[in-house]
Structure 1
């Protein structure tokens, strides 16, 4: 996909999973995960190279001078190749919208309650912070579930590739 196609399909702020170094199915990433799981030493530089960011785009995509399309994301300086960007699945986006609506509903309920029974401004902030904390906790739990699913897919993809190689040999 080139930068123009990306920009037509995905606006700035699109939830994505970005792999600034290597994708999880890359042999280096697979080797790093296997070594981590076995308790072996892993060079910190290799771990950083294999990191992934659950984030959102912060710029439209553009094409570098040598022709590679890239996009910038929150939490990372510079552009990341579009081949190293996965649009976050719709479930995560839907969950984010649901949590945002839940938070807004709590604030609306609090405002309605306050109109009937006014309380001090400090309590208003405490309740608003509590509602946000609940929504943030739910979002972290859902994100952790999605992260686990992505890891499972990566492991299954690696196992599939290993089995195909074994069958081909």
Structure 2
């Protein structure tokens, strides 16, 4: 009977241990299910993070491409700026040369015009002097004729004839 009681007690102990193990197994299965759920959440988060990383890499690549294009545009702009500056310098020199040539032509034309005007003035002065001389002679001959008509300035012997 004692053996039976000891066996029963051992059976109860084993049964209690098995029930404890079954409870622990159930609790562990619940924890395992929770961990599996958390793992799925973490995997979903990681998938989202990986997608974000891929999107960020695409943006970085796009920005790098844009920066490379901007660098090329800057190089082109500098080259264009240099070409424009060179053309402006050449144009400035050309305009300066043309202005100087036009100035020289204008001065030469002006000098020729002044010489022509001076020649015309000299001719006019000579003509005026000739007209003045003719007027003086005309006045003198008119005065002589008037004196002769009036008998002024004639010797008395000549007056007797009149």
More helix by share: 2
TM-score, scaled relative to structure 1: 0.28
TM-score (norm 2): 0.29
Greater relative contact order: 1 or 2 (C-alpha under 8 angstroms, separation 6 or more)? 1
